[in-house]
Every structure is written in structure tokens, then in C-alpha cells.
Amino acid sequence: MPPQPTDRRTQRTQRLLQQALFALVGERGYQALSVQDIAERASLSRATFYLHYQDKEQLTLACVDSIAAELDAHLEVGGTAAERAFLLTVAALRFVGEKAEIFRALLGAHGPPMVQQQIRAVIAAHIERDLRAGFANHEAIDRQASVIATHTAGALLALIGWWLDAGMAQPAEEMARLHHSLVVPGIVALLGAPSVPTAVA
């Protein structure tokens, strides 16, 4: 396990290594990278790298954990279930937009696969929680909540990928409305809800 960031030097070194990883993934893709590549980009030695991480996979997991924790906090939006449905989507888009270069690298075709898996899991957990709250009395929700949440989170990630590739020309709110127009009808059809669901990302 990497050492706990107990001092500024440790924090700075780990930040440099993470920034080097992000930059190199965007340039070369994840699979082609070596520890030496990452250390050189960070202007550090291999020995210093190994003081903090066992290999590039552990560094990547640390990066993903950090980003996922930040995203999780950003998705804690207030309001009613209906309001949270839209605000959660906007919050996810804004968070990605603020870290666009990082996400272009990590979510791209040559990024590490565990990134999409973990980001999707974070988003899906929030969607599922709100689905269960919004459809608490619906007989199918226990069977369907997980699959709906996973599918909706995957659709949102696909939309985010397109948005990043297109230069984020549309505002986050517009993309959130587009996302809702694409996913809500399917959820309504599946659950047989008489109106727009109160909890959709």
C-alpha cells in the first residue's frame, strides 16, 4: 500500500506521479506506459516511485479512488427526488468538465479499464438509491433498480465521452436534458410508471 500522505513532500510527490500518469495516458495510452515513463515525466527517480507505489496499477487505482471519492461527494445534491434526478446529472457533467483533460485521457479508448468501471459504479449507486426512494411502492423496483441504475449510468458515461470529444460546446444543463429525454421513456416503459419518474440520473 502507498504511504499515507502525512507531510507535504509526500503529497507533492504523489500528486506529481498522478499528474504524470494522466498526461502520459492521454499521449500514449495506458498499456504502453512503464514505471520509468511515469517517473521521468514527473522528474523523479524509479526508486522514488517505488517508495510510494508498487507498480503503475497501484498508482492508477490510487488516482481512480481519489477521483471517484471527489465525484461521489459532488453527486450528493439536495432537493426532492425529482430535483435530484436532474441535478445529479448536471453535477456529474460539471465535475467532468472541470477535469476535462484528465477525463479525456482516462475515459478514452486507451485509458485504463478500471476507470470507467469505478466511475460507472459511483454514478449507478446514486441513481439506484434515488430510484428506490422514488419508486418505493412499485412492485418491480426491487428486481429492476440495479439494472436500471447500471444501464442509466453507462448511458451517461457514453454521453459524457461524446461531450468531451465534441469539445463540450453544449452546457451541462443542456446535456442533462438530452440525457433525460433519452433514458426516461425507457424507464417509464419498464416500470409502467404513469408519469415521468422522480429519480433518474
* pLDDT band at residue 6 under the 50/70/90 scheme: low
Q: How far apart are CA 133 and CA 94, in angstroms?
A: 25
The model's pLDDT over 170-199, given as tens digits with 9 standing for 90+, comes to 999 999 999 999 998 888 787 765 344 444
Q: How far apart are CA 131 and CA 145, in angstroms?
A: 6
Q: State mean pLDDT over 38-50.
A: 96
Q: Which domains does the chain have, with CATH numbers?
A: 8-61 (1.10.10.60), 63-191 (1.10.357)
* pLDDT band at residue 122 under the 50/70/90 scheme: very high
Would the pLDDT of 5 be above 60? no
Q: N- to C-terminal Cα distance for the chain? A: 34
Contact by Cβ (8 Å): 9, 17: no
The pLDDT assigned to 196 comes to 43
The pLDDT assigned to 4 comes to 53
CA distances from 155 to 13, 24, 60, 99, 139 (A): 36, 27, 24, 20, 25
Largest CA distance in the chain: 62
Mean pLDDT, the chain, integer:
86
3-state helix, strand, coil in the chain (%, to 5): 75, 0, 25
Neighbours of 169 (CB within 10 A): 8
Q: With H, G, I as helix, E, B as strand and everything else as coil, classify residue 81.
A: helix
Phi, psi of 80 (to 5 degrees): -70, 170
Q: How far apart are CA 153 and CA 46, in angstroms?
A: 38
Quick one: which H or E segment has residue 129?
helix 113-134
The pLDDT assigned to 78 comes to 77
CA distances from 58 to 14, 49, 51, 169 (A): 12, 11, 12, 35
